Amino acid sequence: MNPLQEFQDRLGIHFNDISLLERAFIHRSYLNEHPKLGLEHNERIEFLGDAVLELVVTDFLYRTYPNPEGDLTNWRSALVKTESLATVAETLKISEYFKLSRGEAKGNARSHALISANAVEAIIGATYLDQGYDMAKKFITDHIISRLPEILETGTWMDPKSKFQEVAQERFGLTPNYKVMEEAGPDHDKIFTIGVYVGDSLYGKGSGSSKQAGQQEAAAAALEKLVQAKPVA
């Protein structure tokens, strides 16, 4: 039995050309270690799957919600971002089928999440090529769009800065303000440490190569603190 048979059963999709599905799991690094296998890595098919995913999600949001473009764009981003697709990959146990180099297999959590998200897009591309648009749409609807109600309910579609402002105004009736606490490094490679305050209380700190990046990190830290409703200082 093909080792991917169980996976196909789990998806409810049975490929005519199993090599398309096999390709979805092949990372470039694996071929660097096995150059004589004559296989193709998943980047091209992932490129196709990414386009199909964006079309299906965009079409669904447009037809389902009357909201302005800004809302729809943020919701789409939340659905297709690396972290969301990596969660889908974990649910489907995709990592069991990865073909990676030894180095990539030992990579950090961020690297693994990116590989997982790319594999989901590659599976979409493989499904589209082998089964057509409707089956690819079904996969996306069942495993990705189905997560939208939770995203809308929890507000995770917002960037941390927008979310923290909403929570702070609701809880304290105040708008957060951001202050540069430190600048380090040369002008061409400066790191900004930013603090976010509600009133006079510091709720979070963050660092980044730009003030905006530091603000987002500070807001993310502040959101964690607000769970306990305690300022940093």
Q: Which pLDDT score, from 0 to 100, does residue 229 have?
A: 57
User: For residue 80, what pLDDT band results from cuts at 50, 70 and 90?
Assistant: very high
Residue 35 has pLDDT above 90, yes or no: no
Report strand pairing: 191-198 vs 177-184: antiparallel
- The C-alpha atoms of residue 150 and residue 216 are separated, in whole angstroms, by 22
Q: In the Cβ-directed half-sphere of 60, how many Cα atoms lie within 13 Å?
A: 19
Q: Of the candidates 171, 183, 178, 173, which has an alpha carbon nearest to the alpha carbon of residue 220?
A: 178
- The C-alpha atoms of residue 86 and residue 90 are separated, in whole angstroms, by 6
Q: Which pLDDT score, from 0 to 100, does residue 39 have?
A: 76
Q: Active site includes 150? A: no
Query: Domains of the chain (ranges plus CATH)?
Result: 5-153 (1.10.1520.10), 160-228 (3.30.160.20)
Q: Of the candidates 25, 22, 49, which has an alpha carbon nearest to the alpha carbon of residue 105?
A: 25
Which tens digit of pLDDT belongs to each residue from 8-17?
Answer: 998 889 999 9
Q: Which pLDDT score, from 0 to 100, does residue 232 have?
A: 53
Residue 98 has pLDDT above 60, yes or no: yes
Catalytic residue among 22, 46, 104, 121: 121
Q: Active site includes 50? A: yes
- The C-alpha atoms of residue 108 and residue 66 are separated, in whole angstroms, by 40
- The C-alpha atoms of residue 129 and residue 52 are separated, in whole angstroms, by 11
User: For residue 230, what pLDDT band results from cuts at 50, 70 and 90?
Assistant: low
Catalytic residue among 22, 46, 50, 217: 50
Which tens digit of pLDDT belongs to each residue from 160-187?
Answer: 888 888 888 888 899 999 999 999 888 8
Q: Which pLDDT score, from 0 to 100, does residue 135 have?
A: 97
